[in-house]
């Protein structure tokens, strides 16, 4: 089976049928479990640490902030490369994902414990972020807890500012009023 795997056959059912013809009496599920370990081993083997040098900091931040389920296969491999390259990057990833989980699930009650974990870490960048959170902790906790927000109002203000900027110096208030009313 390993030889066929290395030749490129990665369909578990096909592999199970082939080894069954050779006298294998085990279950299909056992073959699938073995294939999972082969896949994990191939991901570890394919990690190219030189590729890390091609990433920008913003790319790493983008990968660290995303939900792992939303990443495609290549992005997951890149993320695995980051996490295996350095224990510091792995700790950073875990802390960032923990914070993002608080944001996604509105778990503001966990904020204090998260801030303590950051303070105990040696990650100065996250400590700087945590210091900013600490300064306005009540508002951050409210944002992580309450379902109400002012996003709709902020969106309308941004839209109005955009309309104003596109018309700057070209027309007066009556035309701006018409554009605002028709943009709604």
Give the residue-averaged pLDDT of 55-83.
Answer: 83
Residue partners of 66: CB distance under 8 A and separation at least 6? 75
- Residue 174's pLDDT band, with cuts at 50, 70 and 90, is confident
- Into how many domains does the chain fold? 3
Looking at the domain assignment, is residue 125 inside a domain? yes
Distance CA 64, CA 100 (A): 9
Residue partners of 20: CB distance under 8 A and separation at least 6? none
Identify whether residues 93 and 136 lie together within a single domain.
yes
Looking at the domain assignment, is residue 67 inside a domain? no
Residue 27: count of CB within 10 angstroms of its CB: 10
Identify whether residues 92 and 136 lie together within a single domain.
yes
Looking at the domain assignment, is residue 59 inside a domain? no
pLDDT tens column, 147-162: 887 888 888 899 888 8
| DSSP string of 124-179, one letter each residue | HHHHHHHHHHHHTHHHHHHHHH-S--SHHHHHHHHHHHHHHHHTTTT--HHHHHHH
Q: Is residue 25's pLDDT more than 90? A: no
C-alpha closest to that of 129 among 61, 178, 68: 61
Looking at the domain assignment, is residue 60 inside a domain? no
Looking at the domain assignment, is residue 156 inside a domain? yes
The structure tokens listed for 181 are 């009313």
Distance CA 92, CA 1 (A): 39
pLDDT tens column, 82-91: 788 778 888 9
Looking at the domain assignment, is residue 80 inside a domain? no
- Residue 45's pLDDT band, with cuts at 50, 70 and 90, is very low
Q: What is the pLDDT of residue 135?
A: 94
Q: What is the pLDDT of residue 22?
A: 86
Residue span of the structural domain in which 33 resides? 2-45
Distance CA 182, CA 65 (A): 37
The structure tokens listed for 162 are 């955009």
The structure tokens listed for 129 are 């972020």
179 phi and psi angles, rounded to 5 deg? -65, -40
What percentage of the chain carries pLDDT values higher than 70? 89
The structure tokens listed for 105 are 């699930």
Looking at the domain assignment, is residue 157 inside a domain? yes
- Residue 50's pLDDT band, with cuts at 50, 70 and 90, is low
Identify whether residues 138 and 165 lie together within a single domain.
no
Q: Is residue 41's pLDDT more than 70? A: no
- Residue 49's pLDDT band, with cuts at 50, 70 and 90, is low
Distance CA 143, CA 149 (A): 7
- Residue 52's pLDDT band, with cuts at 50, 70 and 90, is low
């Amino acid at each position: 089976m390993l030889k066929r795997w290395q030749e490129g056959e990665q369909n578990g059912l096909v592999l199970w049928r082939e080894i069954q013809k050779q006298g294998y009496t085990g279950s299909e599920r056992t073959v699938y479990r073995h294939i999972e370990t082969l896949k994990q081993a191939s991901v570890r083997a394919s990690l190219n640490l030189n590729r890390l040098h091609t990433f920008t900091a913003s790319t790493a931040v983008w990968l660290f902030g995303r939900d792992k389920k939303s990443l495609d296969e290549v992005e997951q491999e890149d993320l695995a490369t980051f996490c295996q390259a350095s224990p510091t990057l792995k700790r950073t990833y875990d802390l960032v994902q923990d914070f993002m989980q608080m944001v996604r699930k509105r778990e503001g009650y966990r904020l204090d414990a998260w801030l303590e974990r950051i303070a105990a870490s040696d990650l100065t960048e996250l400590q700087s972020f945590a210091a900013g959170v600490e300064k306005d902790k009540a508002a951050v906790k409210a944002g992580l807890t309450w379902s109400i927000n002012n996003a709709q109002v902020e969106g309308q203000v941004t839209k109005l500012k955009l309309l104003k900027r596109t018309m700057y110096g070209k027309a007066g208030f009556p035309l701006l009023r018409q554009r605002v009313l028709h943009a709604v």
